[in-house]
């Protein structure tokens, strides 16, 4: 009986290791979903969000931490949207991680998404204990936004500053893609 249990454990661990990164992300369960005006925003605590930071597949991830109240964040959002459109279908995934307060998701974030017609994937990070998760994003992060992580299975870069142009953001992306 113990041998069957061990065999089942081995088979299930092998099956999990064969699960694609995208499937693993799909298994990240949001703590809440906000739905308004035809827009859905999934809200995660850091533990359920963390897999977004550690994918090991053929995709390059561009993860931008921002908020609707942050003027430099809002100013650079069009560059992320343009990057998302330009690299659609090229194994580049742009994810905009809103740090807006949970009570502002329906009143500020969703109307902002609709008004700006944002097409990138947008998720909401609802974990007030930033002191425990900020350094898990990047050890050098002091916590200010905007902040961006660009990574793939070969390389990773972190920027705690805003991008001044699509060209600057794209150059950063290309340094990661080419590694």
Segment 114-169, tens digit of pLDDT: 999 999 999 999 998 898 999 999 999 999 999 999 999 999 999 999 999 999 99
Token couple for 25: 């992300």
Q: Per-residue confidence at 179, pLDDT binned at 50, 70, 90?
A: confident
Give the pLDDT confidence score for residue 17 in this predicted structure. Answer: 38
What is the spatial distance between Cα 61 and Cα 150, in angstroms, rounded to a whole number? 6
Q: Per-residue confidence at 27, pLDDT binned at 50, 70, 90?
A: low
Check the CA dihedral 16-20-25-27 and report its sign: negative
Region of 174 (left: φ > 0; alpha: ψ -120 to 50; beta: rest) is: alpha
CB 24 within 8 A of CB 49: no
The whole-model pTM stands at 0.84
Asked whether residue 38 carries a pLDDT value surpassing 60, the answer given is: yes
Give the pLDDT confidence score for residue 113 in this predicted structure. Answer: 98
Q: Per-residue confidence at 53, pLDDT binned at 50, 70, 90?
A: very high
Average pLDDT over residues 173-177: 95
Give the pLDDT confidence score for residue 21 in this predicted structure. Answer: 45
Element (H, E) at 96: strand 92-98
Per cent of the chain over pLDDT 90 is: 79
The contacts found for 100-103 with CB under 8 angstroms, 24 or more apart, are 100/67, 100/68, 100/69, 100/124, 102/32, 102/43, 102/126
């Amino acid at each position: 009986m113990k041998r069957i249990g061990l065999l089942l454990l081995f088979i299930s661990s092998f099956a999990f290791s064969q699960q694609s990164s995208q499937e693993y992300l799909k298994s990240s369960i949001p703590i809440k979903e906000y739905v308004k005006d035809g827009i859905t925003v999934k809200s995660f605590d850091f533990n359920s969000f963390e897999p977004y930071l550690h994918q090991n597949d053929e995709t390059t991830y561009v993860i931008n931490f921002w908020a609707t109240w942050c003027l430099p964040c809002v100013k650079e959002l069009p560059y992320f949207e343009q990057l998302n459109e330009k690299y659609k279908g090229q194994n580049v995934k742009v994810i905009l991680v809103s740090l807006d307060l949970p009570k502002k998701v329906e009143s500020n974030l969703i109307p902002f998404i609709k008004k700006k017609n944002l097409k990138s994937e947008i998720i909401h990070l609802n974990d007030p204990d930033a002191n425990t998760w900020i350094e898990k994003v990047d050890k050098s992060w002091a916590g200010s936004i905007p902040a961006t992580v660009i990574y793939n299975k070969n390389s990773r870069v972190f920027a705690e500053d805003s991008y001044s142009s699509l060209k600057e953001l794209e150059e950063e992306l290309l340094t990661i893609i080419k590694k």
